[in-house]
Amino acid sequence: MTAVEAQKSAQQATAQAGAWVSGLRWDDVPPRVRGRLGLVLLDTLGVCLAGAREEEQRRLVEAWRPAPGPAPLLGAGRTTTVEASAWLNAAALVRLELDEGNKYAKGHPAAHAFPAVLALAADLRASGPETMAALLAAYEVASRFGRATSLRAGAHPHGSWGVAGAAAGCARLLGLGADQAAAAVDTGAGLPVAGHFGSALDGNPVRDAWMAASNLSGLAAARMAQAGVARNTGTAAIALGELLGGFDPGAVADGLGERWDVELGYFKRHAACSFTHPAADVVLALRPEIPLDAVQEIVVETHALAAGLTSTTWDSRLGALFSTPFVVAAALVHGHVRPSASSGDALHDPRVAALAGRVVVREAADLTARLPAERAARVTVRGVSGAVTREVPNPVGDSAYHPMDAAALQDLLAELLGPATAAEVARCAAETATADDVSIPLRRLACTSTP
């Protein structure tokens, strides 16, 4: 296919996506899909509130000096402009590496778009059904652009293909027609961040800013389309494809309205990169059988996407959360990988550091061959009394492997936020889905205590 043909194909696929976004009606969405989207919204709000409690996020909000406005700044006790809400809430959402993800999209569709959609919904005083339709449009389009995009080696997925989803959700909320919605999505596809995965491995918080930029850029793309100054020219083929890697237009409209990608995601029980989760799950299951002082070596065999998370030293929380040795060692030492395992003195716990030094990470070709349906890990723990090997196909919380239902997700949020706050988040999420004016529950959640 020539470059001209590729761009034309992307233009046609984006037009199909725009038509689907414009025509999406909440009443037509199957009940099971509505239920799953409600769980993703619940998780997003709860995880964002947890991130807002962190000292780094508080300092960021203080430095930002957000102006008053109609949109919620979760956990900050205030509302602010749509733009500040979208940017700051997105940064809080990904700060603890707990946000929902999707292995087929190869990243995090909801985090790329939900903060922007919710901020705009609060400003427009949109209804719950309209807001939920916009969130669903955002997720499905973002996920498909993630499927369609094959990033170059070393590129991080935050802030690239997901901008198209943010644009789609905001376009749906603004009530744009098919052509305008397509123009918004195309413009979003032309606003990617080219972030290097090495920044995340180094613990550089610019990684969080990439996700914040996605939300802000998606909002801008929808407004450009609303103003009539955006066009659909198949930008994805050259911005996400030619520039950042490869782009398959056929994946953009594939199964829209039939296959719901929101049902295929995963919730995270560990505050760490999802690539580390299967190994953490294995060692937690083995922990009752493993005396820490008897561990000689832990070998983690994994797929190609996770094989680079090998660092046995870290100088920041984010760097630790992208280190399989840290996550495995923290799980064994603490019995969990909640945020407290990587904060304060725990980040430099000498027991964790010593054990991490005995963790070896390597790629296994047979596990790489099972992508994307499985993100497997095979862990061998060697000690003075012998070795034990266990393998898991996916992390706990994946929709295809020990999925979390509403009760499990509520328990997880209760661990993060405390039972009372988690219950309030659940109330606000439920009310947001049905409200005549979503700004009411969202503003209440903005003022929820963050001790």
Does 75 lie in the same domain as 61?
yes
Does 288 lie in the same domain as 262?
no
In a domain, 183, yes or no: yes
Does 158 lie in the same domain as 56?
yes
Does 333 lie in the same domain as 252?
no
C-alpha triplet 120, 230, 28: angle, nearest 5°: 55
- C-alpha–C-alpha distance, residues 156 and 164, integer Å: 16
Q: Which residue is associated with the tokens 């090495």? A: 198
A 10 A CB-CB count for 25 gives 9
In a domain, 358, yes or no: yes
pTM recorded for the entire structure: 0.97
Sign of torsion over alpha carbons 115, 118, 124, 130: positive
Q: Last residue of a domain, which of 354, 377, 392?
A: 392
In a domain, 411, yes or no: no
- C-alpha–C-alpha distance, residues 138 and 225, integer Å: 16
Written as one letter, the residue type at 360 is V
96 with 51: CB under 8 angstroms?
A: yes
- C-alpha–C-alpha distance, residues 348 and 368, integer Å: 32
Does 368 lie in the same domain as 334?
yes
Instruction: Count up the domains in the chain and report the number.
Output: 2
Query: How do residues 273-303 score in pLDDT, each as one tens digit?
Result: 999 999 999 999 999 988 888 899 999 999 9
Q: What is the domain-level CATH number for residue 383?
A: 3.30.1330.120
In a domain, 398, yes or no: no
Q: What is the domain-level CATH number for residue 51?
A: 1.10.4100.10
Does 241 lie in the same domain as 155?
yes
In a domain, 404, yes or no: no
Does 249 lie in the same domain as 372?
no
Does 210 lie in the same domain as 173?
yes
Phi, psi of 320 (to 5 degrees): -65, -35
75 with 58: CB under 8 angstroms?
A: no
Does 186 lie in the same domain as 301?
no
In a domain, 167, yes or no: yes
443 with 72: CB under 8 angstroms?
A: yes
In the three-class reduction of DSSP (H, G, I as helix; E, B as strand; rest coil), residue 79 is classed as strand
In a domain, 409, yes or no: no
Does 341 lie in the same domain as 291?
yes
440 with 430: CB under 8 angstroms?
A: no
pLDDT of amino acid 385 = 83
Question: Would you state the structure tokens that stand for residue 28, as one six-digit string?
Answer: 């037509």
Q: Which residue is associated with the tokens 């409600």? A: 38
Does 323 lie in the same domain as 228?
no
Owning domain of residue 382: 274-392
Per-residue pLDDT for the chain (451 aa), expressed as one digit of tens each? 898 999 999 999 999 999 999 999 999 999 999 999 999 999 999 999 999 999 999 999 999 999 999 999 999 999 999 999 999 999 999 999 999 999 999 999 999 999 999 999 999 999 999 999 999 999 999 999 999 999 999 999 999 999 999 999 999 999 999 999 999 999 999 999 999 999 999 999 999 999 999 999 999 999 999 999 999 999 999 999 999 999 999 999 999 999 999 999 999 999 999 999 999 999 999 999 888 888 999 999 999 999 999 999 999 999 999 999 999 999 999 999 999 999 999 999 999 999 999 999 999 999 999 999 999 999 999 998 889 999 999 999 999 999 999 999 999 999 999 999 999 999 999 999 999 999 999 999 998 865 5
In a domain, 397, yes or no: no
Does 187 lie in the same domain as 54?
yes
Beta bridge partners of 377: 302, 392
